[in-house]
Amino acid sequence: MDATHADLLMRVEGMTCDGFAAAVTRTVKRLDPAAEVQVDRAAGRVAIRTDAQALSIAEALTKAGYTATAMTG
């Protein structure tokens, strides 16, 4: 069964510096090393192209200390 890439947009609160943005990227890549992650720290958004489930990513980010919610549109 082949997984398909999903494009996710998540709001992540608490990214106050580039270190936090890098930590968010590392957290996503632990779930999917091939994920493409674009962090817009100023807007508090993370765009992710991944094979991982959105819920899994949100849970991982929450465990890492961030408030993460999926965005639509």
Cα–Cα dist 64/73, whole Å: 26
Quote the tokens at residue 53.
């489930």
Query: For position 16, what pLDDT does the model report?
Result: 81
Cα–Cα dist 14/1, whole Å: 37
Within 13 Å, how many C-alpha atoms sit on residue 36's CB side? 5
Which segments of the chain have a pLDDT < 50? 1-2
Helix (H) or strand (E) holding 18: helix 18-31
